[in-house]
């Protein structure tokens, strides 16, 4: 046991309150934005605005038409690749079928040879000959 009969308690230091922050300066009055026309003032005519909007719409439709054309071309390429893959897989399947037939033939031959060897061993044992 310990020779110390009592323990000395050390108080944990506490945090002092944070110093008050200085008040934020009042927000500055908003400055009016300088109006910059995106087109000359003579184009404020509604007919001119409509013509500009129609021209922009025609450009967007043309761009979309080009994008759809490219997408269709990519689909055609994908279709060709899938067809080529299908042909390759068909050839591979046919090759596997041919190989299976060959393996089955070799297996039948091996089983026949095994049967012949078993018969030859039985005949040798029956005659009293022991193979070396």
Residue range 15-66, pLDDT digits in tens? 666 666 666 666 666 666 555 556 555 557 899 999 999 999 999 999 999 9
Residue range 84-98, pLDDT digits in tens? 999 999 999 999 999
Give the chain's mean pLDDT. Answer: 83
Are 43 and 49 within 8 A, CB to CB? yes
CA dist 97 and 87 (Å) reads: 15
Between 86 and 8, the higher pLDDT residue: 86
CA dist 109 and 103 (Å) reads: 10
Segments in 46-132 forming alpha helices (H) = 46-127
- Enter the tokens of residue 85: 């893959």
- Measured CA angle at 36 (ends 31, 38), to 5 deg: 150
Confidence of residue 127 (pLDDT cuts 50, 70, 90): confident
Tally of CA atoms within 13 A in the half-sphere of 102 that contains its CB: 6
């Amino acid at each position: 046991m310990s020779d110390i009969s009592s323990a000395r308690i050390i108080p944990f230091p506490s945090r002092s309150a944070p110093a008050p922050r200085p008040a934020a300066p009042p927000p500055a009055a908003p400055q009016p934005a300088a109006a910059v026309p995106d087109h000359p003032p003579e184009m404020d005519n509604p007919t001119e605005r409509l013509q500009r909007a129609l021209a922009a719409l025609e450009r967007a439709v043309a761009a979309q038409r080009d994008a759809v054309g490219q997408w269709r071309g990519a689909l055609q390429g994908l279709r060709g690749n899938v067809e080529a893959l299908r042909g390759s897989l068909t050839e591979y399947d046919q090759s596997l079928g041919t190989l299976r037939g060959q393996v089955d033939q070799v297996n039948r031959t091996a089983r026949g040879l095994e049967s012949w060897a078993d018969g030859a061993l039985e005949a040798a044992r029956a005659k009293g000959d022991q193979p070396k």
